[in-house]
Amino acid sequence: MTETAGRLPWITSDVPGSGGAVKASPEDFRVDEIPAYLPSGQGPHLYLHVEKRGRTTREVVRAIASALGVDEREAGVAGLKDRQAVTTQWLSFLTPKDPDPAAVFGDGFRVLGASRHANKLRTGHSRGNRFQILVRGGDLGAARACAAALDARGFANFFGPQRFGAGARNADLGRAILLGRLDAAEARRAARDRFLRRLCLSAWQALLFNRWLAARIADGLFDRALAGDVMKKLESGGVFHCTDPEADTERVRRFEISPAGPMFGHKLRPAEGEAGAREARLLAGEGVGQAELKRAGGEAEGTRRAARLPLRVELEPAADGYRAIFELPRGSYATMVMGELVKGDTDLAEGGDG
């Protein structure tokens, strides 16, 4: 594992992993998107519930838009799903057509249902994802011990390796954008490709969040509140500053709240006191200050991400291993859950977290 998503501390590091192979075939890895809402049945946007295998979300959007004769740029998705998996999700298209769902299909995808809604689907219009993952050759008893430890201790909400691109190059480019240190070719590309620019800046933010969380764990602060921490309410998403570390630590351990780590940006709500000093040292180590963060503009304004989440993993025996079944909120990574269960050098590559 890389510095960005691996060389990170497993919360269950004292519990032996199950071993085994993850993703030996796409059917071993199923992801079902959990929508934030269901279509109402009325409105200008056609909503299609799609199942795909061996295709990216963008490829399927392009194919369906072409079949409907509409501009793919007007299509809506709540999140991107992995190519090497069987996945389901809703897609939206601005069209008056109401095709027979059974007639809309293509290589590697089919439409399971159709409806209509008033608005376009947008990034974030999902509650999360439900995963069903087969581990071939994995030891079920060992996996159960790891799952029990996660249930008791909580899940460390690290970003997975797919967030950073091949060789973690995207995070390096994100920092270079902030510091104004792109070479001429990179600068031209970043100027004309806003998607690439946002991708690289978000990878840099994720890298620093991972470092912040790894340091909290190393210092015994994973399930503790520090004075000045920005805390997140896990039910509502509301945030507040910790002024009573003892009381808030008890709430953390009940999974009511969590320390909320920095996704640095010029509008980030700063932590205070000891917690603020830890974040300031992390940012200073990158040579980045407010002036550099403002260079990102609206593409990296800053936000907060919960560090510790409750996680219940169901395990089922399979003919040649076991199946892990669990749900994660939007933006959390199944790769990191499977790393806790399997450990070792198993290939956990996963493209898209939705």
Q: Tell me the catalytic residues.
A: 82
Interatomic CA distance for residues 5 and 213, integer angstroms = 11
Q: Residue 257: name the closest of 243, 267, 279, 242 by CA.
A: 242
CA atoms in the 13 A half-sphere facing the CB of 350? 31
Interatomic CA distance for residues 51 and 60, integer angstroms = 10
- 266 within 8 A of 301, measured Cβ to Cβ: yes
Interatomic CA distance for residues 112 and 292, integer angstroms = 47
Structure tokens at 145: 């011990």
- 122 within 8 A of 76, measured Cβ to Cβ: yes
- 64 within 8 A of 52, measured Cβ to Cβ: no
Interatomic CA distance for residues 325 and 2, integer angstroms = 26
DSSP string, 59-126: HHHHHHHHHHT--GGG-EES----SSSEEEEEEEEE-S----GGG-EETTEEEEEEEEESS---TT-E
- 9 within 8 A of 339, measured Cβ to Cβ: no
Structure tokens at 239: 């945030």
Compute the CA torsion angle 256, 261, 263, 264 (nearest 10 deg).
140
